[in-house]
Amino acid sequence: MNNAPPIHHVDVGGKSPPLLRVRRLRKHFPLKGELFRPRKVVRAVDDIEFEVLKGETLGVVGESGCGKSTTARLLMQLTPADGGEFLFDGQVIGGRELPLKEFRRQAQIVFQDSFASLNPRLTVLDSISFGPQVHGVSSAEARKLAQDLLDRVGLDPVRFGGRYPHELSGGQRQRVNIARALALNPRLVVLDEAVSALDKSVEAQVLNLLQDLKQSFGLTYVFISHDLNVVRYMSDRVMVMYLGEVVEIGDSESLFANPRHPYTAALLSSIPSMDPDQRTEVPALSGDPPNPINPPPGCRFHPRCAHASAICHQAVPALTSVSLHHRVACHLHIRGSGHPQAPIG
């Protein structure tokens, strides 16, 4: 296969503007209601705003139910949003400049369950070449492309091309899913817990592969995982979510080294220690993540927070810059917020 880098897309707005800009994104799932009572909703994603920069890896972390995967599905337009705007390289998704079909060529997703995301009746080559054919590539060319991609993700096309998903191991299937995601030469790839189901030794192989592919295809990743060590290793920036909101977003190293939000700090200190002489003595948080049906008023984290004060029960903290590339939604860090430990404004 030729190793020449594929043709890069023309950046519409130049290199500096973000590849994806998300504003006031909201998704509420209605619950089955009782008669004559207002319907309850699960506030899965509640007015979040963030940007994905060109060529970066944005890590997304949080407990289950925090809205990580819903955000991924909304980004991919797999679930209709209840509100919010997306700008993909300055263009409205689904608008005249960027029709949905064209957006879907440029953005792809890899899911956690490698088996469920492949059609069991298609061979590996058929699965990978399906997308390009939908977009008008001839079947012979699409197969050639699929063979090249299989080779690229470390699977011998002669040995594996004709196999069905059940004939592959989990790691091999995830490689196929990655190859399929790349078949349309996308710019953005969302990895939703893509390595979580793999064994550690296989996970390392796939992480290395993802790094290599990012380089050679000039990709931008949104990397969702509950494994904080992996997120730290992969990401340039990290976004921390809690109950459908973004509580902290910033440069990966500064966020991991100096977490500002008490929730981020608690999340990071829940990583098991690798030193038998420095075991964790007290859990950083007690109880399970609360239910997103009836989130607490004010700061949603206040019932579990060690620093909560009166203001945290009442006012919702806005995302505020604490340094150049680091924003946090916590009254502790908002000048003049009324929190006793906040900087005085």
Cα–Cα distance measured from residue 331 to residue 298, given in angstroms and rounded to the nearest whole number: 10
Cα–Cα distance measured from residue 80 to residue 85, given in angstroms and rounded to the nearest whole number: 11
The pairing of beta strand 41-52 with beta strand 20-30: antiparallel
CB nearer to another protein: pick between 97 and 253: 253
Least Cβ distance, residue 277 to another protein (angstroms)? 7
Least Cβ distance, residue 130 to another protein (angstroms)? 26
**What's CA 272's distance to the chain center, in Å?**
23
Indicate left, alpha or beta for 336 from its phi (over 0: left) and psi (-120 to 50: alpha): left
CB nearer to another protein: pick between 114 and 172: 172
Least Cβ distance, residue 256 to another protein (angstroms)? 7
Least Cβ distance, residue 291 to another protein (angstroms)? 8
Least Cβ distance, residue 342 to another protein (angstroms)? 25
CB nearer to another protein: pick between 34 and 275: 275
Find all residues with CB under 8 Å of 60, minimum gap 6, and list them.
68, 71, 72, 222, 223, 224, 225, 231, 238, 239, 241
**CB 266: neighbour CB atoms within 10 A?**
17
Binding site for another protein (CB under 8 A): 63-64, 169, 171-172, 199-205, 207-208, 211, 226-230, 232-234, 236, 253, 256-257, 266-267, 270-277, 279-289
- What tokens appear for 107 in the block? 């953005």
CB nearer to another protein: pick between 50 and 263: 263
Least Cβ distance, residue 239 to another protein (angstroms)? 16
CB nearer to another protein: pick between 106 and 254: 254
CB nearer to another protein: pick between 171 and 250: 171
Helix axes 170-182, 124-134, angle to 10 degrees: 20
- What tokens appear for 333 in the block? 């860090």
